[in-house]
Structure 1
């Protein structure tokens, strides 16, 4: 298992940031590894909503099916899975100074089967990906959310 945690201050009001990030389709704007993210069901974004996310990691594309599990005013939890990995993205929000929001983003990767053996070898790449998200997310949000 690999767990990465990144904390960032985003210059957007908390309700607006939570609403933006609840729609996982926006991952293609704030996650540099995401190639495409498509909603696979219809209706309002709420727990149970599902997406198909294609990410490029270590030069290869991987598709992961994501579901929104928790949607609260100060927390979002997404779970994703494919044949080799189960991912949990846990986002926690607190108000910060001058209308900004403090976001603590925890991503947990649980590798399956033979892929478990690769976990120690991909840790640095996962850490780098988390750094890239922490740098890109605040910029992407401020471009999209007034």
Structure 2
């Protein structure tokens, strides 16, 4: 499994930041590696809620279907899957002074014949981290 993680700080309250980030369809507003995210479920976010996304990786757009598998307090975890990868995306928001700290973690398990290349793909997956964190920081700042 390849893990990519990072944190950003924001002046938003933890509750406000999580209310925004737990609506996974907002991901396309701050993560350039995920330009399309569409809700497939109705109502408030809950375990079992589904999303369709298109992830951009190495110049190609790949569809991936996500489902919320954990939702508790200021923590959400989604499982995404397509023919090439199984992904687990977690967002955790905790208080930090008068604002909050957001930690975003993405775990990837490569499937199929490319699985043998998984150790060599870590740098490519790591290259997704900084643009996503920068976008996240900027978006949260715009919400203050």
Please state which band the TM-score falls in when normalised by the shorter chain: over 0.9
What corresponds to 1:69 in structure 2? 69
Question: Which is richer in helix?
Answer: 1
Matches within 5 A, 1:5-20: 5-20=5-20
C-alpha distance in 2 between matches for 1:140 and 1:74: 18
Deviations 1:10-32 (A, max 9, x none): 22110111111111110101111
C-alpha distance in 2 between matches for 1:15 and 1:96: 12
C-alpha distance in 2 between matches for 1:5 and 1:97: 22
Deviations 1:22-63 (A, max 9, x none): 111101011111121111121221111110000211010101
* 1:95, distance to aligned residue in structure 2 (A): 0.2
Deviations 1:70-96 (A, max 9, x none): 122221111100111100012222100
What corresponds to 1:133 in structure 2? 132
Matches within 5 A, 1:38-57: 38-57=38-57
Count the aligned residue pairs: 144
* SS at 1:114 equivalent: helix
Contact kept, 8 Å, 1:48 with 1:68, in 2: the verdict is yes
Unpaired segments of 5 or more residues in structure 1?
none
Unpaired segments of 5 or more residues in structure 2?
none
* 1:64, distance to aligned residue in structure 2 (A): 0.6
* 1:121, distance to aligned residue in structure 2 (A): 3.0
* SS at 1:32 equivalent: coil
What corresponds to 2:36 in structure 1? 36
* 1:115, distance to aligned residue in structure 2 (A): 2.0
Instruction: Determine whether 1:4 maps to 2:22.
Output: no
TM norm structure 2: 0.93
Moved over 2 A (4+): none
C-alpha distance in 2 between matches for 1:48 and 1:89: 14
